[in-house]
Amino acid sequence: MKILLPYLALYRRHFWRLSAGVLLAIVTLLASIGLLTLSGWFLAASSLAGFAGLYSFNYMLPAAGVRGAAITRTAARYFERLVSHDGTFRVLQHLRVFTFSKLLPLSPAGLTGYRKGDLLNRLVADVDTLDHLYLRIISPLTGALLVILTVTLGLSWLDWQLAVTLGGIMLLTLLVLPPLFYRAGRPAGIAMASLRGQYRSQLTEWLQGQAELALYGAAKLFHTELDQTELRWLSAQKSQASLMGLSQALLMLISGFSVVLILWLSAGGVGGDAQPGALIALFVFCTLAAFEALAPVGGAFLHLAQVMASAQRVTEAIAQQPAVRFENHGPQPTKGAALSIQDLTFSYAADRPALSSLSLEVAQGERVALLGRTGCGKSTLLQLLTRGWDPEAGTVILNGQPLKNWDEASLRAVTSVVTQRVHLFSNTLRENLLLASPESSDERLSEVLRQVGLQNLLDDPQGLNGWLGEGGRQLSGGELRRLGLARALLHGGELLLLDEPTEGLDAETEKQILTLLQQVARGKTMIVVTHRLQGLQHFDKICIMDSGRIIEQGNHLELISKRGRYWYFHQRFAL
Q: Which of 318, 347, 375 is the last residue of a domain?
A: 318
Same domain, 311 and 361: no
Same domain, 193 and 55: yes
Mention every residue, 6+ apart, whose C-beta is less than 8 A from residue 184.
243, 302
Same domain, 365 and 251: no
Per residue in 362-414, pLDDT tens? 898 888 989 888 888 888 888 888 888 888 888 989 888 888 888 888 888 88
Q: Is the peptide bond before 333 cis (omega within 30 degrees of 0)?
A: no
Asked if residue 314 lies in contact with residue 127, where contact means CB atoms within 8 angstroms, the answer is yes
In a domain, 264, yes or no: yes
Same domain, 373 and 300: no
In a domain, 328, yes or no: no
CATH number at residue 155: 1.20.1560.10
Mention every residue, 6+ apart, whose C-beta is less than 8 A from residue 188.
236, 237, 239, 240, 243, 302, 305
> Which pLDDT does position 126 carry in this prediction?
78
Give bridge partners of residue 273 from the DSSP assignment: 270
> Which pLDDT does position 407 carry in this prediction?
86
What whole-number distance in Å separates Cα of residue 105 and Cα of residue 452? Answer: 32
What whole-number distance in Å separates Cα of residue 474 and Cα of residue 468? Answer: 6
- The total of structural domains in the chain comes to 2
CATH number at residue 372: 3.40.50.300
Each of the 575 residues of the chain gets a pLDDT tens digit; together they read: 677 777 777 777 888 888 888 899 889 888 988 888 888 878 887 777 665 555 566 677 778 888 888 898 899 989 988 988 888 888 888 888 888 888 888 777 777 777 777 777 777 777 877 777 777 788 888 888 998 999 899 888 888 888 899 889 989 988 888 888 888 888 888 888 888 888 888 888 888 788 888 888 888 888 888 899 999 989 988 988 888 888 888 888 998 898 899 888 888 878 777 777 788 888 888 888 888 888 887 777 777 777 888 888 888 788 888 778 877 776 766 777 888 989 888 888 767 788 888 888 989 888 898 988 888 888 888 888 888 888 888 898 988 888 888 888 888 888 888 888 888 888 888 898 898 888 889 889 888 888 888 888 888 788 888 888 765 667 777 788 888 888 888 888 889 998 888 776 677 777 777 787 787 777 889 998 888 788 788 888 989 888 888 888 888 888 888 888 888 877 776 54
Q: Is 527 helix (H, G, I), strand (E, B) or coil?
A: strand
Same domain, 230 and 373: no
Q: Comparing C-alpha atoms, which of 134, 139, 135, 147 is closest to residue 173? A: 147
Asked if residue 574 lies in contact with residue 507, where contact means CB atoms within 8 angstroms, the answer is no
Tell me 377's DSSP state: S
Residue type, 82: L
What whole-number distance in Å separates Cα of residue 566 and Cα of residue 564? Answer: 6
In a domain, 501, yes or no: yes
Residue 531 sits in which domain range? 339-424+475-573
Dihedral sign (CA 157, 262, 35, 143):
positive
Residue 21 class from Cβ within 10 Å (0-12 exposed, 13-18 middle, 19+ buried)?
Answer: buried
In a domain, 348, yes or no: yes
> Which pLDDT does position 52 carry in this prediction?
54
Same domain, 219 and 71: yes
Q: Which of 128-133's residues contact partners 24+ apart within 8 Å by CB, and which partners?
A: 128/92, 129/193, 129/306, 129/307, 129/310, 130/7, 130/95, 130/307, 130/310, 130/311, 130/314, 131/88, 131/91, 131/92, 131/95, 132/303, 132/306, 132/307, 133/4, 133/7, 133/8, 133/307
> Which pLDDT does position 228 carry in this prediction?
92
Mention every residue, 6+ apart, whose C-beta is less than 8 A from residue 362.
338, 339, 340, 341, 368, 525, 527, 541
Same domain, 239 and 153: yes
End-to-end CA distance of the chain: 66
In a domain, 61, yes or no: yes
What whole-number distance in Å separates Cα of residue 374 and Cα of residue 358? Answer: 17
In a domain, 54, yes or no: yes
Same domain, 115 and 245: yes
In a domain, 552, yes or no: yes
Same domain, 154 and 287: yes
In a domain, 446, yes or no: no
Give the DSSP letter string of 296-321.
Answer: THHHHHHHHHHHHHHHHHHHHHHTSP
Same domain, 87 and 183: yes
What whole-number distance in Å separates Cα of residue 203 and Cα of residue 206? Answer: 5
Same domain, 354 and 208: no
Same domain, 380 and 483: yes
